[in-house]
């Protein structure tokens, strides 16, 4: 993936005026997103923070009040939204800032939180969104993964997994962009909220693309999915496999001639099936695991990690016992140092580590056999082994990035340990 997509710059401290207007916040959001912030975080009773290159820093000189956040949300959306959030209903909504003639889009999430002196605090997290997803080729994916994601066999489920802020939605939207260009197909999405406006695909390709956002166009995922199925699209994108109804409908759709793309909040490929089944009552789990395994085509897990500043990184010591234990080739590995280019942090930008498994008839029959004999626990173990032998694990991706001097020994070692833990839990240690 092109590195500068995730590169961020240091944000100068904002001197807040006594009255914090929408313009003040718009300016803060616009500057922070220009500096490459991946999140701007407002929380009443404390200074505003921004996440740049994965690290959080304060970006205002003084704290912000709940009234400031509430007033902003009231003006950006409605006062009813403020009331609803205060009553305990976290909400997200799309937002746009127009600065220097350019539109910058954000995904805003707002919720009530505790505060130092009162229990009536509020937080607002603003995530900048590009107007178009990057082209799939720009993401430099392994060839087999690229082909699996853009499969012309429009049946089954493709899951993009990862933690919040791992770039799942971007990878998913880039994939849909490519699918729309490759084939003349009907794509329907249900998102919460719509992250990229894909309408341009209707003008630039033969494909028909329709997007619907939760709360703006629909009330629930499952209701939206039912409605969408009546339109008989070739490809369906469901923002998240969130509840049992959505999962059931998604699986059913994938078995009746639709290709379903979705995301899941999970930290590795192996845990995917277990993570989905755990939503269901004990008695339903086996049945859902069976249809899921039958439907899965590809599972991707993505994590963004800080990249070493290429201007100052220095070679690692080749006699480091801890690093030698990992078996990595240390000849090209480097560690952070700090210079003017990276504001002495040693890091600049982020790089994705991608773990994935492309399912084949063979893997599916192996998994089904394991499911029958050992249950879902056995599936997690086998998925880990299959990813190691037939796909790519996060450790493999991290090892490559570490050996190429892109990521620090700390980041690499943390992923090495995480993998060791999975293996110990699975009894392979
Ligand atoms: Zn540097």
Domain at 172, CATH number: 3.40.50.300
Q: Which of 112, 129, 146 is the last residue of a domain?
A: 129
- Give the end of a domain, one of 71, 94, 129: 129
The CATH number assigned to the domain holding 77 equals 3.30.450.90
Q: Please report which confidence band the pLDDT of residue 2 belongs to, taking 50, 70 and 90 as the band edges.
A: very low
Number of domains in the chain: 2
Residue 3 has pLDDT above 60, yes or no: no
Pick 28 or 195 by higher pLDDT.
28
Query: Is residue 102 very low, low, confident or very high in pLDDT (cuts 50, 70, 90)?
Result: confident
39 and 181 assigned to the same domain: no
The answer to which of 6-15, 158-167, 183-192 has the lowest mean pLDDT is 6-15
CB 208 within 8 A of CB 187: yes
- Does one domain contain both 281 and 396? yes
Verify that 174 and 104 share a domain, yes or no.
no
Rounded to the nearest whole angstrom, what is the distance from the C-alpha of residue 8 to the centroid of ligand 1? 12
**CA–CA separation, 237 vs 128, rounded Å?**
21
Determine contact, residues 127/38, Cβ cutoff 8 Å. yes
Instruction: Specify the pLDDT at position 246.
Output: 93
Centroid of ligand 1 to alpha carbon of 55 (angstroms)? 15
Locate 289 and state its tokens.
Answer: 């695991």
15 and 114 belong to one structural domain? yes
Last residue of a domain, one of 95, 129, 163: 129
Query: Contact, 304 vs 351, CB < 8 A?
Result: yes
pLDDT of residue 422: 80
pLDDT of residue 343: 79
42 Cα to the center of ligand 1, angstroms: 29
Q: Is residue 314 situated within a structural domain?
A: no
- Tens-place pLDDT, residues 141-160: 999 999 999 999 999 999 99
Strands (E), 214-346: 235-238, 259-264, 296-308, 314-315, 334-335
Residue 96 DSSP SS3 = strand
Q: Please give the residue that has the higher pLDDT: either 117 or 350.
A: 350
* 346 Cα to the center of ligand 1, angstroms: 5
Q: Sign (positive/negative) of CA torsion 391, 262, 154, 288?
A: positive
Q: How far is CA 262 from CA 113, 397, 425, in A?
A: 29, 23, 28
**Cα 336 to middle of ligand 1, angstroms:** 8
CB 97 within 8 A of CB 128: no
- What residues are neighbours of ligand 1 (ion), with CB under 5 Å? 309, 311-312, 339, 341-342
Distance 306 CA to ligand 1 centre (A): 13
Distance of CA 221 from the midpoint of ligand 1 (Å): 45
197-224: burial string, b at 16+ Cβ within 10 Å, e else: ebeebeeebebbbbbbbbeeebeebbeb
Residue 429 pLDDT level (bands cut at 50, 70, 90): very low
Say whether pLDDT at 381 is over 60: yes
Q: DSSP class of residue 14?
A: B
- In this model, does residue 214 exceed pLDDT 90? no
The one-character DSSP state at 316 is: P
- Give distance in angstroms: CA of 408 to centre of ligand 1: 13
State pLDDT tens for residues 239-285. 999 899 999 999 999 998 999 999 999 999 999 999 999 999 999 99
Residue 342 Cα to ligand 1 middle (Å)? 4
Estimate the share of the chain in helix, then strand, then coil, as percent rounded to the nearest 5. Answer: 40, 25, 30
What's the chain's average pLDDT? 92
**pLDDT, tens only, 273-294:** 999 999 999 999 999 999 999 9
Q: Do 102 and 143 fall within a single domain? A: no
Which pLDDT value is given to residue 39? 93
Quote the ligand 1 centre to 72 CA distance (angstroms): 37
Does pLDDT of 130 surpass 80?
no
Domain assignment present for 69: yes
Nearest to 388 by CA among 428, 331, 328: 428
Confidence of residue 6 (pLDDT cuts 50, 70, 90): low
Residue 382 CA to residue 354 CA, distance in Å, equals 19
> Coil, strand or helix: which one is 55?
strand
Which structural domain range is residue 240 located in? Answer: 136-307+336-425
* pLDDT, mean of residues 302-314: 93
pLDDT surpasses 60 at 76: yes
| Ligand 1: centre distance to CA 4 (Å) | 15
Asked whether residue 362 carries a pLDDT value surpassing 90, the answer given is yes
Mean pLDDT on 357-374? 96
At 131 the pLDDT is 74
- Does residue 318 belong to any structural domain of this protein? no
Please check whether residue 120 is in contact with residue 86, taking contact to mean a CB–CB distance below 8 angstroms: yes
How far apart CA 77 and CA 60 sit, in angstroms, is 24
Shared-domain flag, residues 157 and 109: no
Does the residue 330 lie in any domain? Answer: no
Residue by residue, DSSP assigns 98-163 as EETTEEEEEEEEEEEE--SS-S-EEEEEEEEE-SSPPPGGGG---HHHHHHHT-S---EEEEEEES
Residue 329 lies in a domain: no
- Tell me, yes or no, whether 417 lies in a domain: yes
Greater pLDDT, 350 or 47: 47
**Residue 2 resides in a domain:** no
pLDDT at residue 412 greater than cutoff 90: yes
Mean pLDDT of the 183-190 span: 96
pLDDT band, residue 5 (cuts 50/70/90):
low
Per-residue pLDDT for 75 more than 70? yes
C-alpha 187/C-alpha 208 separation (Å) is 6
Residue 218 lies in a domain: yes
CB 181 within 8 A of CB 205: yes
- Rounded to the nearest whole angstrom, what is the distance from the C-alpha of residue 397 to the centroid of ligand 1? 23
How far apart are the C-alpha atoms of 238 and 241, rounded to whole Å? 7
How far apart are the CA of 312 and the centre of ligand 1, in A? 4
How many angstroms separate the CA atoms of 410 and 407, rounded? 8
| Lowest mean pLDDT across 93-97, 121-125, 193-197, 390-394 | 193-197
Same domain, 347 and 413: yes
Let me know the angle formed at the C-alpha of 194 by 187 and 20, rounded to the nearest 5 degrees: 165
């Amino acid at each position: 993936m092109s590195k500068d997509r995730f590169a961020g710059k240091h944000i100068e401290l904002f001197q807040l005026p006594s009255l914090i207007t929408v313009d003040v916040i718009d300016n803060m959001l616009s500057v922070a997103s220009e500096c490459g912030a991946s999140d701007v975080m407002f929380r009443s009773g404390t200074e505003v923070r921004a996440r740049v290159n994965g690290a959080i820093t304060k970006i205002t000189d003084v704290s912000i009040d709940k009234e400031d956040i509430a007033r902003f949300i009231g003006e950006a959306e409605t006062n009813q939204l403020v009331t609803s959030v205060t009553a305990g209903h976290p909400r997200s909504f799309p937002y746009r800032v127009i600065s220097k003639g350019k539109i910058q889009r954000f995904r805003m999430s707002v919720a009530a939180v505790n505060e130092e002196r009162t229990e009536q605090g509020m937080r607002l997290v603003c995530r900048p969104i590009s107007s178009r997803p990057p082209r799939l080729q720009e993401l430099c994916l392994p060839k087999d993964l690229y082909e699996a994601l853009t499969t012309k066999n429009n049946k089954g489920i493709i899951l993009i997994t990862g933690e919040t802020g791992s770039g799942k939605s971007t990878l998913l939207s880039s994939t849909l962009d490519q699918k729309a260009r490759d084939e003349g197909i009907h794509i329907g999405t249900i998102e919460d909220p719509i992250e990229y406006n894909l309408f341009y695909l209707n003008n630039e390709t033969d494909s028909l693309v329709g997007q619907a956002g939760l709360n703006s166009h629909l009330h629930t995922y499952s209701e939206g999915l039912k409605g969408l199925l009546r339109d008989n699209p070739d490809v369906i994108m469901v923002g998240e496999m969130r509840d049992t109804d959505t999962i059931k409908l998604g699986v059913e759709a994938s078995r009746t001639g639709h290709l379903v793309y979705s995301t899941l909040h999970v930290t590795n490929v192996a845990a995917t099936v277990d993570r989905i089944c755990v939503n269901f009552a004990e008695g339903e789990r086996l049945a859902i695991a069976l249809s899921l395994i039958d439907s899965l085509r590809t599972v991707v897990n993505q994590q963004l990690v800080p990249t070493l500043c290429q201007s100052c990184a220095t070679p690692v010591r080749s006699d480091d016992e801890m690093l030698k234990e990992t078996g990595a080739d240390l000849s090209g590995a480097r560690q952070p140092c700090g210079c003017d280019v990276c504001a002495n942090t040693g890091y600049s930008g982020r790089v994705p580590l991608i773990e994935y498994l492309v399912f084949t008839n063979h893997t599916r029959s192996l998994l089904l056999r394991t499911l029958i004999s050992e249950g879902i626990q056995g599936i997690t173990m086998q998925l880990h082994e299959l990813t190691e032998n037939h796909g790519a694990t996060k450790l493999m991706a991290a090892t490559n990035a570490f050996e190429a001097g892109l990521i620090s020994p700390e980041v690499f070692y943390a992923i090495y340990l995480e993998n060791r833990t999975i293996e110990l839990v699975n009894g392979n240690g």
